[in-house]
Structure 1
Amino acid sequence: MTTSAADLARRLYSALAEGDRAVLDEILAPDFVGRLADGMPFGVGGEHEGPDAMRREGWGGIARHFTARAEPAAFADLADGRLLVTGRYTGFGRAGGGPVDAAFAHVLTVTDGRISALEQYTDTARWQAAAPRYSTLTLDVADGLATLRLDRPKQNNAIDAAMGHDLAVASTALAEDPTVRAVLLAGNGPMFTAGGDIDVFTGTPAADLPDTLRRMIDDYHFALDRLTSLDAPVVAAVHGAAAGGGLGLVCAADIVVAAEDAVFATGYGAIGMTSDGGNTWYLPRLIGLRRTQELFLTNRRLTAAEALDWGLVTSVVPADEVEDTATRLASRVAAGPTRSYGAVRRLLRQSFDSGLRDQLAAERQSIVDAARTSDTLEGVIAFTEHRRPRFTGN
């Protein structure tokens, strides 16, 4: 018992550190139950029934907000036959979080050669202190690609005041980070976003609702404005559904990859509301006035195929290919001439409101400005040398 349980435990910690799902499938019992300490940040504490739930909501919830690993130091048999593992968590909180340094005690139950239960005890205050600045999303930047992922999966990534604030902070961080050359928008869980959180309406006293909505939408609209103003192009990966104000994130993107089973809807009329998220500005420009009127007045739900036909999305792929396809596109864009892309984004956005003479003048100025960048020089030299340019985003 001692050797086999300790060996299973060592394999568990190694698999978690390496993200080895095959090993986890092998050593976790089908009826595995994990219990993380109450008080763990982002609601990951509590009981998770089944290996999939533990991977997705327990360990996965931690991994979305922290880069941390459990480092076991000692193994001891308990009188009731379970195994006690003690050690420390080390790492750091993502997105500006602090260092993680917290002792842990795990009590493992082994049944028929597989781990059937894990109980976690740890200093949750240290985890809270290391928590990243975002509670409803994650933001990672690597090799010029920023991945901004909505992270309220149990609420279908519905937008509440906290998410509006987080999006405002995150969009500002993107605007201030010169290394960002493309942004990938995605969502955890079964849905890209359900739009505005209905709990805001049902859980706010009627007298307070107008001011609550004003503050929430101010933050969200600030974020959308920042995202559209970036030099870095934005790619969205849409699965499940994009609805209500959440359509604003789809519209703000330059490239939208949708799953074959994705649906799109405004949904405002169903609850007697008007519109937010820039939908009344973007949708007429993207799909036309008549189709926009139909969406708002009939609450029509568009399939992915219809959204592609109408011009709301760029491409439609099988559901299990959405993330990979969008990531490849975003990575390709991140390798491009970022400052020139930014100029093109602005030119296209203003073209509907500019006269031809003003647009021609704006194009002339953008060409002159681009000629001062190192990427334009590199592009011209690469063209004459018959090779692929190596852009740096400057």
Structure 2
Amino acid sequence: MSQPELLITSGTVLLSLHGGVAHLHLNRPDAANGLDIPTLQDLIAALMRCHGERRVRVVLLTGAGANFCAGGDVHTFAGKGDELPEYIRQATVYLQAAISAMIHLDAPVIAAVQGFAAGGGGMGLVCAADVVIAGESARFLAGATRVAMAPDAGLSVTLPRLVGPRKATEMLLMNPVVKAPEALSLGLISQVVADAELQAAAMAYAQQMAEGAPRALAATKRLLWTGVGLGVDAAMPEESRTVAALCRTLDVREGLAAVIEKRTAQFEGQ
């Protein structure tokens, strides 16, 4: 494979393009990739770059160092004193924008998690991803009520969607540390691999997904996110409209031909 194209090379969030895979990398390892306002602004900028780059078929989200993301930057929060409410108000707006950008991105988002994914930041990013691959060291913690706050980053909606309302209530109110095997059994994550294999396994998974038909991937992602709120009866007409629209694309013709000819399809996003 050719060398990755470096799109954002400095700051708290890095971005590179590996063929059809955009690698978005949280880059504050000394702060456990905690999310303060500058980091959230960088994250939004990187996601917007992915939105605007037609070559991006899949986004791989990773974190530098021992932890994926420890949530909000508690040291920054603690130092704000009386200014904390206003700082949190601004930070929450940026965090919500980042989560919304992930969900509305056409490209599926794969998160590779090692160490802690905690708080509205870490857990929020996990629950907004479409696929989550975790190392054996991964730990998941909601954490908001532990510091007398409430869930943010959409967790009050996305977490019950993944693990069910009863388990989500327990996780949000009692703040248990959920280890990778339990997270897998709950449906919070997609698979567990050895820590030493995490980055390579996640990139290989992303590159395999990126070989799919991009419009079909985007449409399926949208149906999955919107269908939960619609219910089955309301979702089926939208599915029908989506499939009919996709059947106008050249990728569908290529996919059908590849099945008949017993070969690998070559999708161009057209």
Same fold (TM over 0.5): yes
Shift of 1:353: 1.2
- Higher-strand-fraction structure: 1
- State the distance in 2 between where 1:142 and 1:393 align: 17
Q: Distance in 1 between matches of 2:257 and 2:51?
A: 29
Question: How do 1:3-152 residues align onto structure 2 when only pairs under 5 Å count?
Answer: 94-95=6-7, 132=9, 135-152=11-28
**Percent same amino acid among aligned pairs?**
38
Gaps of 5+ in 2: none
State which drifts further: 228-237 or 284-293.
228-237
**Equivalent residue pairs, number:** 265
Question: Partner of 2:173: helix, strand, or coil?
Answer: helix
Shift of 1:142: 2.3
What is the rounded CA distance, in whole Å, between the counterparts of 1:307 and 1:356 in structure 2?
A: 27
Q: How does 1:165-184 map to 2 (within 5 A)?
A: 165-184=41-60
Q: Does the 8 Å contact 2:41/2:94 carry over to 1? A: yes
Give yes or no for the alignment of 1:195 onto 2:71. yes
Q: 1:296 aligns with which of 167, 172, 176?
A: 172
Distance in 1 (CA, whole Å) between partners of 2:112 and 2:147 is 27
Partner residue in 1 for 2:236: 360
CA-atom RMSD in angstroms: 1.4
Q: Does 1:243 align with 2:155?
A: no
Q: Find out whether 1:267 has 2:179 as its counterpart.
A: no
What is aligned with 1:216? 91
How big is the shift at 1:269? 1.7
Task: Measure the CA separation in 1 of the matches of 2:33 and 2:269.
Answer: 32
For residue 362 of structure 1, report the CA deviation from its aligned partner.
0.3
1:161 — aligned with what? 37
SS of the residue 1:138 aligns to = strand
Q: CA deviation at 1:237?
A: 0.6
Residues in 1 aligned to 2:187 and 2:234: alpha-carbon distance in whole angstroms: 27
* 1:302-341 matches, cutoff 5 A: 302-341=178-217
The one-letter code of the counterpart of 2:105 is: L
1:392 lines up with 2:268 in the alignment = yes
Q: Contact 1:256/1:314 (CA < 8 Å) preserved in 2?
A: yes
Partners of 1:152 and 1:327 in 2: how far apart?
21
Q: Which amino acid aligns with 1:331?
A: Q
Counterpart-to-counterpart distance in 2, 1:309 and 1:139: 32
Unmatched 5+ stretches in structure 1: 1-66, 68-93, 97-131
Structure 1 residue 148 displacement after superposition: 0.3
Amino acid at match of 1:227: M
Whichever residue aligns with residue 25 of structure 2, its letter is R
Could you report, residue by residue, the CA deviation over 1:154-196 in whole angstroms, capped at 9, with x for unpaired residues? 0000011011111111111111111000010101111001001
Relative to the length of structure 1, the TM-score reads 0.65
Amino acid at match of 2:89: R
Runs in 1 of length 4+ with deviation above 4 angstroms?
A: none
